């Protein structure tokens, strides 16, 4: 589930309108609509506003369970996660560098393409 769908599901679960969220977060109703419909990918600060407005911990925007997901044990060198060491770390550093140069529309397009690629790969299994 993409972030916008999750935000909409939580809003509807709590029987709130976009107007209610607008009042609680200070975000424009049209912006909320754009996020819920996948046209805009919110920044972390905006996700925090959504979480406060929906009165849920921020992990609920990413995870369906009531409790936070278990933490992955990572040693001091970052081993245990992709991008924590070796060639993966170099690749992640490049991604971070290039992603920081994209504007909102380009990030949204890239996210959309990644989601489509993941869906196609899921169908190949």
Low-confidence ranges of the chain (pLDDT < 70): 1, 69, 72-81, 122-125
Instruction: Please report the pLDDT score of residue 9 as a whole number.
Output: 93
Would the pTM count as exceeding 0.75? Answer: no
Q: Please tell me the distance from the alpha carbon of residue 102 to that of residue 82, in angstroms, as a whole number.
A: 23
pLDDT one-digit tens code per residue, 76-96? 555 566 777 778 888 888 888
Residue by residue, what is the 3-state secondary structure of 34-97? HHHCCCCCCCHHHHHHHHHHHCCCHHHHCCCCCCCCCCCCCCCCCCCCCCCCHHHHHHHHHHHH
Q: Please tell me the distance from the alpha carbon of residue 42 to that of residue 51, in angstroms, as a whole number.
A: 12
């Amino acid at each position: 589930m993409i972030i916008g769908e999750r935000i909409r599901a939580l809003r509807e679960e709590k029987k709130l309108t976009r107007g209610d969220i607008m009042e609680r977060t200070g975000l424009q109703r049209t912006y909320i609509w754009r996020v819920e419909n996948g046209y805009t990918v919110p920044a972390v600060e905006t996700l925090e506003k959504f979480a406060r407005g929906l009165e849920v911990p921020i992990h609920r925007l990413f995870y369906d369970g009531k409790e936070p997901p278990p933490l992955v044990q990572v040693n001091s060198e970052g081993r245990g996660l992709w991008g924590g060491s070796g060639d993966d770390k170099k690749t992640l550093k490049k991604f971070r560098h290039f992603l920081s140069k994209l504007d909102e529309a380009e990030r949204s397009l890239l996210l959309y393409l990644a989601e489509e690629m993941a869906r196609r790969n899921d169908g190949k299994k």
